[in-house]
Amino acid sequence: MTGAPDTIDLHSTPNDRSVATPADDHPSIPEIESELARIVDDPDFDASPRNRDFLRFVVSETIAGRGERIKAYTIAVEVFHRDEGFDPQTDPIVRIEAGRLRRSLERYYMLGGRDDAIRIDIPKGSYVPVFSHADWPEPEAPAGGRGRTIAPEADDDPEASPVRVPTRRRWSWRHAATFAGGVAAATGLLFLFAGEPGQSQLRPQEARMAPPAAGQPTILVLPFQAESGDEAEIVFAQGLTEEVQVDLVRFGDIRVLDAAVAGGDPLSVAAELGADYLLRGSVTRHASSIAIRLRLMNAVSTAGLWGESFIVPYDVDSLLSVIEETSNSIASTIAQPYGVVYRDQHRAALVAGETPLSGYLCLVMAYAYRAQISADGNRDAFACLSRATVLEPQNAEAWAMLALVELDVSRFRFPAPEELAGGPMEAAASAANQAITVNPFSALAQHALSEVRFFEGDLPAALTAGERAVALNPNNADYLAILGLRLVMTGSLDRGMDLVDQAMVLNPSPPGWYHFAPALFHLAADDPGNALASAQRIQMPAFYLDRLLLASLHGLLGNLAEASALLVEADGLYPGFFDCPRNDLAFRNIEPALIDRLLQGFEAAGRRMPVSEASCAV
């Protein structure tokens, strides 16, 4: 046996039917074979027949002690019947199909296989499967107290090294992100993926559709068309279609449908499936590039909402990363807060002029409030979401947004509704925990938990949950921006700004609050001029922290008339701030040196600071 105590090398026991037992228990070969048979026979394992053979091959080779044979070339010849001249550098078929097989396994373990005692996974960067006992994560925190580190992952060369089988499954939050783990069961999302390249196996009438949450918008993603029929083009089109479907699903408040259209009118198919939006696209391969054309339309009004053309490089070695990056851009443009679907839903709600009756429309209202924070907007969002969580108690997104709105009452000093007489922080914590209970794999639920923990002063738990939210949906610019802002506030300046920069790439026209982070970053660098330039882009005049930041910066720059006028506005929005200014800023976990700089700006503007804040509430 080789390796650490919690692993086992199957190469050492090619003929043994019960693998030697290390300190912890691990799956035996008969258990692995039984799990393989269970997977390939289960209707929730949506892999094509060819990819079922792929799975059988790599599992059989591994448990027979031949893991070193599991290379792209061997798989291409043995499973995909390529000839002996196959070159993995020019033909990406194995890499593309391996990605599909991984997603099929992940979906299976979220659906029909969620209670299986054994798991079979194919880690990214290898074609060799690993076998483990299934341990699910606790909602609060992964082992070690930290979530996934926010950093790009290396796109490893997918050639196998000798297999080491963990005896205890170490759940990665990135696994959850790939499939938005558990969202399918919680919100009734539909995943029906096509099979062999060039085939359209599914028909609309075959769709197994759970009822969506009330008001939840539905997007039908049609298979992107390969214009020339070239096999590499077909493979790219299918890979991009599936990646876009997965990335859209990460936005838990949008339902994603996939059904192949066999000679039918797409709008008729959308109507039959009850889709609100229709996304279609085409792919054309040239010598060294691929042209991608996409169009999103309202399936009811037939109005075109968004169209885009991409020219991306065609290089076999970087094909997967090109697909992932292109899909990220598409999904974030369409589905993120303040994205295309949000704007269309918000516009429709304004035209209707009615009180929202669904959880999703309450989310739309809440996002509009959070773009321009105000006491009135907070009150309306609270009333809507409170009603929505009663009518839709299994709507994790509604609970999560309610937690954020209730937290705003405390952190932004808004008048508390009568329902929050017991304390807005306590109510926010309760709502965030309820969101996690309903769906621990909701990115919005993890984000809400992160914000609650941050303002409770539990910074490690806050950053862990914030990193989880980003891992579950790395295409949501808000989660990146807020996590980056929290890091800047607490002194992790460079790392925080890296995240905010990423958020601004995803959302080039962000709401004004994104600019708090660069303003504080420049202030921490003793550059009030650039800090002011950033702060002036916030443009939230009804928000007292916006007025206070501008006042302090004008004070530091000697613009005393402007600073004085802004302080008067801040007093009108929150009259009690200057009773305990240091205490208020410390409640936000702003690092002490940055607090000192802000207070210097207030004093420069003529505002006297209290001698002591000993009597201030913590």
Q: What is the pLDDT of residues 507-549, one digit of tens each?
A: 888 889 999 999 999 999 999 999 999 999 999 998 999 999 9
What whole-number distance in Å separates Cα of residue 358 and Cα of residue 545?
A: 32
Give the Cα separation of 550 and 573 in Å (integer): 14
Alpha-carbon distance of 360 to 384, in angstroms, equals 10
pLDDT at 90: 67
CA dist 594 and 527 (Å) reads 12
Residue 357 confidence (pLDDT): 60
Query: Which of 159, 299, 285 shows the shortest CA–CA distance to 222?
Result: 299
At 601 the pLDDT is 96
DSSP character at residue 380: H
Q: Are strands 218-221 and 304-313 parallel, antiparallel or unpaired?
A: unpaired
CA separation for the pair 481, 337 (Å, rounded): 12
The pLDDT value given to residue 538: 95
95 alpha carbon, distance to own chain's centre? 24
Q: What is the pLDDT of residue 214?
A: 57
Distances (CA, A) of 132 to 32, 118, 397, 498: 9, 6, 32, 36
Q: Given this model, what pLDDT does residue 161 score?
A: 33
Q: What is the DSSP secondary-structure string of 82-122?
A: --TT--TTT--HHHHHHHHHHHHHHHHHHTTTTT-SEEEE-
Residues 550-593: pLDDT tens digits?
999 999 999 999 999 999 999 999 998 999 999 999 999 999 99
pLDDT at 143: 34
Structure tokens at 7: 């692993």
Residues of the chain with pLDDT under 70: 1-25, 90, 135-215, 259-264, 316, 351-357, 617-618
**Which domains does the chain possess?**
7-171 (no CATH), 183-335 (3.40.50), 354-455 (1.25.40.10), 476-618 (1.25.40.10)
Residue 325: count other Cβ atoms within 10 Å of its Cβ: 14
Spatial neighbors of 495 by CB under 8 A, at least 6 apart, are 150, 484, 487
Looking at the whole model, is its pTM more than 0.85?
no
